[in-house]
Amino acid sequence: MARLPLEGIRVLESSYVFALPYAAGLMADLGAEVIKVEGPGRMDTTRAGGFAGAHADNDPGDDPWNRTATFNMLNRGKKSLVLDLSKPEGLNVFKELIQVSDIVMENFTPRVMRRWGLDYPNMKKLKPDIVMVSNTGYGHGAGPYSEYPAQATTQEATHGLTHITGYPGDIPSKAGQSFVDFLACWACLLGVALGLRHRNRTGKGLWLDVGMYQLGAFTASEYILDWLANGRLGDRIGNRHPWRAPQGSYPCAGEDQWCVISVGDDEEWASLCREIGASPMASDSRFATHAGRVVHHDEIDTAISAWTKTQAKFDIMERLQGAGVPCGPVFDAKDTSLDPHHLSRQFLEKVEYPADRKMGARTLMGRPWRLSKTPMSIKGPAPKFGDHNRDVLQGVLGYTDAQCDELESAGILADRPTNVQPTPTMSLQDMVKQGRLAYVDTDFKDKLGI
């Protein structure tokens, strides 16, 4: 079997929520040994709370912190070490692990690592060739925002995306839940690759200091550049486009079913008119030019919607793409999970959980890319809280049973969170009634083949 790209690389990851946990999960897929470090009283947010998603089978079980969808998706293939870094004994263990690791990933605010004496100048004293990855809202340094806590759910506002997302004359809107987390994930993966290449060439490590605020600004770059070059401040445009018309989301047959159509030139416009049975519109002088179609966009949308409402969204996609008109169906979670193209590219993978986890087989998202020479797959399920405490301390650091017993007795090591909160439960049917879910497929496991 081909050697995996990160085989032999040890990653020490003390991070929370999406960006770095997702990056480290992909690194585990790539062959790295990833040790996820959480605190007894500070477990990853995705084990519980607003980012956790659903519990497997909507059942919290006796250990709900091990059963949440988001944690299991992002942290697959890792080892779990639960270590109290607020205590000197725990911090000493962490420092010993740094000395035998290749990469350290953290997303604390800058003052935390400084307080522990683990900012980059001090960390490279422990391991001169360490590659350190810091992911914060605004980056380290002397800037006025550097010490601010941040998360992607609010950063869309400060990096400008919210200003341009929404409908004309309406309020600024968010783009989903935490858009910039995923930008940070992919940026950190690229940075890690550059860091390892630098180390291989020079024998020295480096520090990757990622400010998500700056990453997010790239998503609004055309607006920023327009102001820099022309002093022009863009506004919200909804589903419209300054150079493509008509463009929008159109209702299709069925409840809450939609497709997106985007016309870029006169030829595509003529093809669209022909396919929807409105050929006279193609020769109408009001719609003959792009400028005219922008002016009469609402009237065009009415004609398109009258046709799309009678058609299934996938049929519309096939028909319009076949006629050279850009079109795509709007996927929901079910469409994505059952999409034959995802399955053919092995993007959706089945992962078997040990019997004691009581989760059976689950389908997880793989990687957004494939390597032609290196087949890859998810190495295994996400770990239980503290599942590898002794494996790491004894197998990596050579600790004895007595030393581990002492750390456990002192509460430095743990395999159960100290701040467990009651898990609210609600039936799936009640969630549908409250509008929190659109619908429920009770036979979803049969459809997924699990």
Which of 332, 362, 391 is a domain's end point? Answer: 332
Q: Are residues 349 and 326 in the same domain?
A: no
Q: Are residues 176 and 252 in the same domain?
A: no
159-174 pLDDT, tens digit each: 889 999 999 999 999 8
13-55 pLDDT, tens digit each: 999 999 999 999 999 999 999 999 999 999 999 998 778 888 9
Does any domain span residue 195? yes
Q: What is the pLDDT of residue 424?
A: 74
Does any domain span residue 3? no
What's the chain's average pLDDT? Answer: 93
Identity of the highest mean pLDDT range in 116-130, 414-428, 436-450 = 116-130
Phi, psi at residue 141, to the nearest 5°?
Answer: 125, -160
Q: Which residues pair with 328 in a beta bridge?
A: 260
Percentage with pLDDT > 70 across the chain: 100
Q: Are residues 265 and 294 in the same domain?
A: yes
Distance CA 447, CA 437 (A): 19
Q: Are residues 200 and 275 in the same domain?
A: no
Pick from 95, 74, 70: nearest CA to 12: 95
Identity of the highest mean pLDDT range in 99-108, 373-382, 439-448 = 99-108
* Token pair of 376 as six digits: 């890859």
Q: What is the pLDDT of residue 39?
A: 96
Q: Are residues 322 and 363 in the same domain?
A: no
> Comparing 105-119, 139-153, 275-289, 367-381, which segment has the lowest mean pLDDT?
139-153
Q: What is the pLDDT of residue 231?
A: 96
pLDDT interval class at 153 (50, 70, 90): confident
Side-chain-side CA neighbours of residue 432 (13 Å): 8
What's the CATH number where 293 sits?
A: 3.30.1540.10
Instruction: Domain count for the chain, please give it.
Output: 2
Q: Are residues 98 and 66 in the same domain?
A: yes
Q: Are residues 81 and 176 in the same domain?
A: yes
Which of 298, 332, 366 is a domain's end point? Answer: 332
| Per-residue CA distances from 226 to 159, 162, 168, 229, 368 (Å) | 16, 17, 18, 5, 31
Does any domain span residue 105? yes
What's the CATH number where 108 sits?
A: 3.40.50.10540
Which stretches of 36-87 are DSSP H helices?
69-74
3-state SS string for 338-355: HCHHHHHCCCEEEEECCH
Q: What is the pLDDT of residue 443?
A: 92
Q: Are residues 325 and 362 in the same domain?
A: no
Does any domain span residue 240? no
Q: What is the pLDDT of residue 53?
A: 83
Q: What mean pLDDT comes out for the span 85-99? A: 97
pLDDT at 309 over 70: yes
Query: pLDDT higher for 204 or 436?
Result: 204
Q: Are residues 310 and 351 in the same domain?
A: no
Q: Are residues 196 and 325 in the same domain?
A: no
Q: What mean pLDDT comes out for the span 114-133? A: 96
> Comparing 21-30, 93-102, 267-276, 366-375, which segment has the lowest mean pLDDT?
366-375
242-260 pLDDT, tens digit each: 899 999 999 999 999 999 9
pLDDT interval class at 1 (50, 70, 90): low
List of residues 6+ apart from 190 with CB closer than 8 A: none
Does any domain span residue 230? no
Distance CA 209, CA 450 (A): 41
173-201 pLDDT, tens digit each: 988 778 889 899 999 999 999 999 999 99
Q: Are residues 37 and 177 in the same domain?
A: yes
> Comparing 64-78, 173-187, 254-268, which segment has the lowest mean pLDDT?
173-187
Contact, 175 vs 190, CB < 8 A?
Answer: no
Q: Which domain holds residue 76?
A: 10-218+345-444
* Bond before 149 cis per omega within 30 degrees: no
Q: Are residues 305 and 176 in the same domain?
A: no
Strands 206-211 and 348-352: unpaired
Cα dihedral 59, 64, 70, 73, rounded to 10, equals -90
Does any domain span residue 241? no
pLDDT at 426 over 90: no
pLDDT at 155 over 90: no
pLDDT at 427 over 80: yes
Contact, 44 vs 16, CB < 8 A?
Answer: yes
Which of 332, 354, 371 is a domain's end point? Answer: 332
Q: What is the pLDDT of residue 437?
A: 86
* Token pair of 93 as six digits: 């263990």
pLDDT interval class at 300 (50, 70, 90): very high
Helices (H) and strands (E) in the chain, counts: 21, 11
Element (DSSP H or E) covering residue 361 = strand 361-365
333-379 pLDDT, tens digit each: 999 999 999 989 989 999 999 999 999 999 999 998 888 888 899 99
| Per-residue CA distances from 112 to 34, 108, 135, 148 (Å) | 22, 6, 13, 12
Distance CA 130, CA 207 (A): 8
